Amino acid sequence: MNKPGCGFVVILLVSLMFSLFFSFFCDAQNFNYLPTSTTNQIVHHTYFSLSYSDKYEQAEWVAYELTKERVSGTIGRTNNFREDRKIHTGSATLSDYKGSGYDRGHLAPAGDMKFSSTAMSESFFMSNISPQNASFNRGIWKKLEEQVRTWAFENGHIYVITAGVLGSSSSSIGYSSVGVPDYYYKVILDYNEPEIKAIALVLPNQKGTQQLSSYVTSIDYIESITGIDFFPELPDDLEKRLESKSYANQWSWKSISFSSRNKKDPN
């Protein structure tokens, strides 16, 4: 019997490597990135999902995917704030915010939804809105949103989870008693080889005076103050590694403004 030649072995190895890469790629694309819900009211819109809290009349988390292609979209803001009819108990309303002194702060930003008219429109559901201090919303929070879009552009594909820390709410606004969080968080996962990484930030709902990197914390810490389990579908060892520490040095801290970018990638 003839033994396999070197060429056959090489082909076999290449085939095996391709199979492993394809398997990982499929797993990454089909990865269930949604956190657990403490409210038992998860709502899925076309391009983002959320867990809604009746107690605070806003989402305890909003989760979505963001890609290099999506951040280069050109759809304009619709500003069509409206109730979310998918919230079976009724969402907060526009009148809850009127005269409150707080901005209608997006959780999934309109700036992340410029790739689709549907995505842009749905980002103005009141279930995706939270009362934010104006200097916070238009300052450090906006800066963080721009940073997240830069991370999506640099890494190709990320998962974003964000909301107020609802348990920190010390006041409320409107007839619906919409809670005003004292803190907001973002949790980001880059689930792509060769460097799977995550980052988490917690910011006070006030004018920011520090560098964004100074707000970095661990996912474990955010889990402890929210009661939410982030990325429960990750392999246990990977989840423990990603969530136990802060990883500010694995992410770049430059920021790209996409509002003035052409849809074509200049690189």
26 pLDDT band, cuts 50/70/90, is: very low
pLDDT for the residue 193: 86
The reply to whether 72 falls in a domain is yes
> For the chain, how many structural domains are there in total?
1
| Phi and psi at residue 38, to the nearest 5° | -90, -5
pLDDT, tens digit, for every residue of 46-90? Answer: 999 999 999 999 999 999 999 999 999 999 999 999 999 999 999
Contact 92, 104 (CB under 8 A): no
Single-letter amino acid code for the residue at 71: V
The reply to whether 255 falls in a domain is no
The reply to whether 141 falls in a domain is yes
Q: Look up the pTM and report it.
A: 0.86
SS (H, E, C) the chain: CCCCCHHHHHHHHHHHHHHHHHHHHHHHHCCCCCCCCCCCCEEECCCCEEEEECCCCEEEEEEEEEECCHHHCCCCCCCCCECCCCCCCCCCCHHHHCCCCCEEEECCCHHHCCCCHHHHHHCCEHHHEEEECHHHHCCHHHHHHHHHHHHHHHHCEEEEEEEECHHHCCEEECCCCEEECCEEEEEEEECCCCCCEEEEEEEECCCCCCCHHHHEECHHHHHHHHCCCCCCCCCHHHHHHHHHCCCHHHCCCCCCCCCCCCCCCCC
Domain span including residue 117: 24-250
* Average of per-residue pLDDT across 207-217: 96
Single-letter amino acid code for the residue at 95: S
The reply to whether 259 falls in a domain is no
Question: Per the residue annotation, which of 44, 45, 88, 106 is the catalytic one?
Answer: 106
88 flagged as catalytic: no
The reply to whether 228 falls in a domain is yes
The reply to whether 123 falls in a domain is yes
CATH code at 54? Answer: 3.40.570.10
Q: Does the pLDDT value for residue 266 go beyond 90?
A: no
pLDDT, tens digit, for every residue of 132-148? Answer: 999 999 999 999 999 99
The reply to whether 88 falls in a domain is yes
The reply to whether 224 falls in a domain is yes
